[in-house]
Structure 1
Amino acid sequence: MSTQETVRRQAGSVEETALNIDPEKAEQLVDALNTDLAATYVLYHQIKKHHWNVEGAEFLDVHEYLGEVAADLEADADELAERAQAIGGVPLAGGATFEEHAPIDPEGDDVYDIRTSLENDIEAFGVIIDSLRDHIELANDLGDYTTEELLRDVLAGVEEHAHHLEHYLEDDTLVLDSATK
């Protein structure tokens, strides 16, 4: 718990910065960035859960790939938070806060088979993709081309990971289950 007696910046506040973004526009942009930040961290923790719990014949490949996905999501979250701060906002922080503001619900605490886990990840990626596309349009409409470019970069990586996860779920595999033997 903090022992600081005064708060330097109120959560949810937006202040003017040297970037000269109109405060009303900055509020909308910070809200959008914080939504994407929250979703990214909720998915990050879900991906880490799957990374830790994956089993089976393709364990190592899936484990390593999910580690890469988690690292990319963590880097994206950092970029989103830093941009929110740069335009005068206060980035969200904390697990409960992220879950409260994310447009996705975290998967439960139970461990599922890897196919179900990856399907849940793809579903979450889809929600994030839609959110990022909406926020790219918002940033463009508000004339914040730097935020727009950042969100486009995040979107490209998120789409790539969603596409790669689809490949893990294809039915063409060298691993045969007992039903096909």
Structure 2
Amino acid sequence: MVATNSKQRLYPTRIDLPETTRTGVIEILNHSLATTLDLKTQVKQAHWNVKGINFYQLHELFDQMATELEEYIDLIAERATALGGTAMGTARMAIADTIIPEFPLDLANDKDYVVALADRYAPYAKMVREAIDQTGALGDADTADLYTEISRAIDKRLWFLEAHLQGN
């Protein structure tokens, strides 16, 4: 569900999308921004705290994943502002609008960290795919394409996480 920000002020733009389209897309983008910010901080939490036989490999993988998410944060926020909106990107804003559950602090080993991140990447991937459909239905093919780009990469990262869990 996308949180409605009734205080969203649209700034003038020459982008030829109707105001109602831009308003709806900006709401979707800000919901995604909140969730992406939250996911990035949780990946960093795993990066900093992972322990176990696969420490180095996972430490490096989690850092790459966080860097990738940082790029998506910029893409999403900049698209919201390009459409005349305000990117709602503080930590407090993210907490209020994320779909990701809080990261557990009682993880015992490296496999638990992989499971925790896979459990967060899966709903994130679903949210991104839903955003493709939602923004496409609103008539914004460019934002739908942005989400398609993110979706492919997130599915690949989810595959990487799940591959660590197979055969054990």
Q: Give yes or no for TM over 0.5.
A: yes
> What's 1:33 paired with?
29
- Taking a change above 3 Å as real, the CA distance of residues 11 and 91 of structure 1, as seen in their structure-2 partners, is farther
Query: Partners of 2:75 and 2:147 in 1: how far apart?
Result: 9
> What's 1:154 paired with?
150
- Larger radius of gyration, structure 1 or 2? 1
SS in structure 2 of the partner of residue 129 of structure 1: helix
**Aligned residue among 67, 73, 93 for 1:71:** 67
The count of corresponding residues between Structure 1 and Structure 2 is 162
8 Å Cα contact 1:11/1:90 also seen in 2: no
Please list the CA deviations of residues 80-119 of structure 1 after superposition, one character each: whole Å capped at 9, or x if unmatched: 00001101110112111101111222214x2513322222
> What's 2:107 paired with?
112
8 Å Cα contact 1:53/1:111 also seen in 2: no
> What's 1:163 paired with?
159
Query: Partners of 2:22 and 2:138 in 1: how far apart?
Result: 9
Query: Partners of 1:12 and 1:105 in 2: how far apart?
Result: 26
**Aligned residue among 73, 76, 80 for 1:80:** 76
> What's 1:57 paired with?
53
> What's 2:87 paired with?
91
SS in structure 2 of the partner of residue 92 of structure 1: coil
Q: Cα distance, 1:69 vs. partner? A: 0.4
Supply the AA of the counterpart residue of 1:125. Answer: Y
CA RMSD of aligned residues (A): 1.6
**Structure 1 stretches of 5 or more lacking a match?**
1-9, 173-181
Query: Partners of 2:47 and 2:39 in 1: how far apart?
Result: 12
Query: Partners of 1:111 and 1:52 in 2: how far apart?
Result: 14
**Structure 2 stretches of 5 or more lacking a match?**
1-5
> What's 2:134 paired with?
138
User: TM-score, normalised on structure 2?
Assistant: 0.90
Supply the AA of the counterpart residue of 2:57. Answer: D
8 Å Cα contact 2:118/2:161 also seen in 1: yes
8 Å Cα contact 2:37/2:89 also seen in 1: no
> What's 1:18 paired with?
14
User: TM-score, normalised on structure 1?
Assistant: 0.84
